[in-house]
Each structure stands twice: as C-alpha cells, then as structure tokens.
C-alpha cells in the first residue's frame, strides 16, 4: 500500500481494457469483494456514480473493516481484482486461490482450454528490497514452482494492467497485453537486482506486452485510452525528476525503450 500515490483515473470492471485507474465504483468494489453492497467507506460521486479510492479499499480490506468480507491473511486487494477478472473473462475456468505448496502458498491455479498454470501477483516489494531477508532473485520462486510442480508459473507484476486483455494473454499468445502504471511510486530505476532490465523484459513479454518501441507506453494513455498519464512524466519534464528513475539496471536498450514518447 505504501507504493500507491494519489488517486488517478477510474477503473471499470466491465471495461477493464479501456479504463485503468485508482477510483473504483462502489458497485464494482462490491462485486470484487463478493458482497451485495459496501458501507462505511468514504466515497465521492461523479456523474451519478459513487467511487472509492483504491488505497482506502486496500486498507479497509487488509484490516478486516469491510462488513461481510472476511480478512484473508495472504490475499491482497489486487489479487481480489484479478480473481474477479479471471472469473468474468475465462468462461468455465477452474480457479483455485492460495494453493498450498509445502509450507507456502501460490496465489492462483487456473485451468482453462485444456491448460493449467499458476499465477503469482508480485507487487513492488518483490523487486525493491527493503530487508536483509528479501530474496536476491525475483524469479527464483517462479522457477522453483515450475521445477517442483511441473506447471508454468506466470509472474503478474504490478505494472501489468489488471484487465481482461491480460487475462486472455495468459492463454493466447496472439493477444497483445497491456503494461500500465498510473499512481505507483515504484519505478524501474529503483529496482534492486543488477539484471532488473532482463527480469522486467522477461515477465512483460510473457503477456506479449513489449512493443517494437519498448514499454515506455505504460506511463501514458496511448494504448489504454481512459488512463491518466503517470505524474512522473510531468515531474521529469519540469526537471524535478531524472529520467534515469525509469531505466532499470542492466539495460542493453536505448533510453527510448523505457521512456514514454513524451520524453523522447
């Protein structure tokens, strides 16, 4: 939660490919959480619809303050969004959450179209280490799961848009996925691993979301029309931030690969 800054744009569950942001309608939030209605959370009305700041939902969900919703120790609100998107997108899919793996748990196991795979949602703390106990290799868990269980484990990093298009890309290599950030404070230049560029490219290509120009589009709204431009773009333009914050260590590409076209 500490990686979220501000409240930018609107998320719409029924049109998640086009609408990406931090404000979620009360109706969508209730559907995501599996309750009839939400009560007691601060909201604001926009064109007749009441919206809740995603950060408020994160906090209330993690602390068990949403009536009718049982706190799940290992589950984040991001995972609740992905779960509902999978259910809406993959008709007839078999979905298990928090699958036991020895003493550990895997976020999702999804079976659809004759294939089964695991999904691990990785927030910023998987890439920006804060404690000595943090892992040295972000993809080590993925590799261990695949070696032990014999099924692909897809890392869903926080910069991949939570949308139906990316759900379809999990099972269809012809679908072009979407990378999007709109309010995170965690930038690629902050990542800890010396080969961060390779890690970022690997997990993003799994969604077929790297364009010939790179992935700098994720900060703008060229591919997701109803998404705010990330405020870091304006800060860089104003000289208040260095473009180096958007460039991971170990990059073998020109800067333009990582930067939005507004900064080329």
Where along the chain do its domains lie? 10-263
Angle 159-261-82 from CA coordinates, rounded to 5°: 20
Structure tokens at 113: 């179209």
* Residues in a beta bridge with 236: none
pLDDT of 226 higher than 90: yes
Helix (H) or strand (E) holding 52: strand 49-53
CA dihedral 19, 24, 26, 28 (to 10 degrees): 50
pLDDT of 130 higher than 50: yes
10 Å Cβ neighbour count for 232? 21
Could you tell me the pLDDT band of residue 201, with boundaries at 50, 70 and 90? very high
Could you tell me the pLDDT band of residue 1, with boundaries at 50, 70 and 90? very low
Owner of token pair 């809740």: 52
Which of residues 259 and 37 earns the better pLDDT score? 259
Distances (CA, A) of 118 to 35, 42, 50, 78, 143: 26, 35, 35, 16, 12
- Within 149-222, strands assigned E span 153-157
* Percent helix, strand and coil across the chain, each to the nearest 5: 35, 20, 45
The number of helices, as runs of H, and strands, as runs of E, in the chain is: 7, 8
| pLDDT of the residue at 37 | 84
Q: Calculate mean pLDDT across residues 203-227.
A: 96
Q: Calculate mean pLDDT across residues 203-226.
A: 96
Could you tell me the pLDDT band of residue 74, with boundaries at 50, 70 and 90? confident
| pLDDT of the residue at 65 | 83
Q: Calculate mean pLDDT across residues 88-101.
A: 96
Mean pLDDT of the chain: 92
Q: Calculate mean pLDDT across residues 153-166.
A: 98
| pLDDT of the residue at 223 | 95
Angle 161-179-170 from CA coordinates, rounded to 5°: 70
pLDDT of 3 higher than 60: yes
| 8 Å CB contact between 118 and 109 | yes
Which of residues 130 and 18 earns the better pLDDT score? 18
Locate all alpha helices (DSSP H) within the chain, ordered by sequence. 26-33, 54-62, 77-89, 140-149, 164-171, 196-205, 231-237
């Amino acid at each position: 939660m500490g990686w979220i800054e501000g409240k930018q744009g609107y998320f719409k569950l029924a049109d998640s490919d086009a609408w990406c942001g931090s404000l979620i309608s009360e109706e969508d939030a209730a559907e995501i959480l599996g309750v009839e209605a939400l009560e007691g959370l601060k909201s604001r009305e926009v064109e007749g619809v009441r919206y809740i700041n995603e950060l408020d939902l994160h906090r209330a969900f993690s602390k068990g303050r949403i009536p009718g919703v049982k706190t799940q120790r290992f589950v984040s609100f991001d995972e609740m969004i992905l779960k509902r998107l999978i259910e809406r997108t993959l008709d007839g899919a078999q979905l298990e959450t928090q699958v036991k793996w020895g003493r550990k748990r895997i976020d999702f196991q999804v079976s659809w179209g004759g294939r089964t795979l695991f999904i691990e949602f990785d927030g910023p703390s998987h890439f920006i280490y804060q404690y000595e106990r943090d892992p040295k290799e972000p993809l080590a868990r993925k590799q261990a799961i695949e070696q032990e269980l014999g099924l692909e484990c897809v890392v869903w990093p926080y910069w991949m848009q939570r949308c139906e298009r990316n759900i379809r890309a999990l099972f269809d290599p012809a679908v072009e996925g979407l990378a999007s950030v709109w309010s995170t404070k965690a930038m690629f230049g902050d990542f800890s691993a010396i080969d961060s560029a390779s890690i970022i490219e690997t997990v993003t290509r799994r969604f077929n979301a790297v364009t010939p120009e790179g992935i700098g589009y994720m900060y703008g709204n060229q591919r997701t029309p109803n998404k705010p431009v990330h405020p870091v773009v304006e800060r860089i333009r104003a000289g208040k931030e260095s473009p180096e914050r958007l460039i991971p260590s170990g990059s073998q590409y020109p800067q333009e690969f990582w930067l939005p076209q507004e900064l080329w």
